[in-house]
Amino acid sequence: MAADAPTSAAASVVASRPSILRRLVALDTALSLRVHSFCRPVPRPLLKALEISGDGRFWFPIPIALLPLSSASGAAYSLFLGLLLGSLLDLLLVGLIKHLVRRPRPVYNKGMSLTFAVDHWSFPSGHSSRVFFIAAFLRLSSASLRRVLLFDGPIAPARRWIEDYYDGELAELLVWIVSTWSVATSTSRVLLGRHFVLDVIAGAFLGILEALLVLNFLHL
């Protein structure tokens, strides 16, 4: 009987885990619906614009088009290559996790065009992981970004004017803008009803992890 006690205790712990998970999902569902309902006055065209700005179909062509225009040994090449590799990694990880978890999207999700089968699933938010990857990648590789922006090329006059007006570095300003955009885009996923709050949080952490992996791989 004494030997059976630890086994029974372990079994009870295992049995309680689904209940805890269900409570967490229920809390997340209720919180997400409350946030979505409370923020209905936010203009939907603004939220849709943020949705489009974080779409992978918009971001994939950018590094692909800019890579051939960069020197293979330059900082710009490393940045664009990192953005491309991170986007591919994000697509792979988000698709895999969505396929494994298979959490349905909110029932109040309306007007969404689905491209792939995994887009029917909600966890994690691909938009959040993508935009947080971009923001974290630029933040952590700000030294390379600064070198790219310091070249004496066509943007030099505009760069000097912005820095004089801003009273700071253009790289710092760009990172701040991208970081703000990443938070706004991720928030819009809940306000549009595309995702639950936990989907967005998980996506954000996944994007930051992807940035760390890509930076470590490229040794930036």
Chain segment 185-213, per-residue pLDDT in tens: 999 999 999 999 999 999 999 999 999 99
Establish whether 36 is a catalytic residue.
Answer: no
Q: Are 82 and 145 in contact (CB under 8 A)?
A: no
Establish whether 127 is a catalytic residue.
Answer: yes
Q: Are 29 and 196 in contact (CB under 8 A)?
A: yes
Distance CA 101, CA 123 (A): 7
Residue with tokens 């390379």: 144
Distance CA 21, CA 136 (A): 29
Residue 168 above 60 pLDDT?
no
pLDDT classification of 117: cutoffs 50, 70, 90: low
pLDDT classification of 216: cutoffs 50, 70, 90: confident
Residue 76 above 60 pLDDT?
yes
Given 36, 120, 195, 219, the catalytic residue = 195
Given 36, 99, 127, 219, the catalytic residue = 127
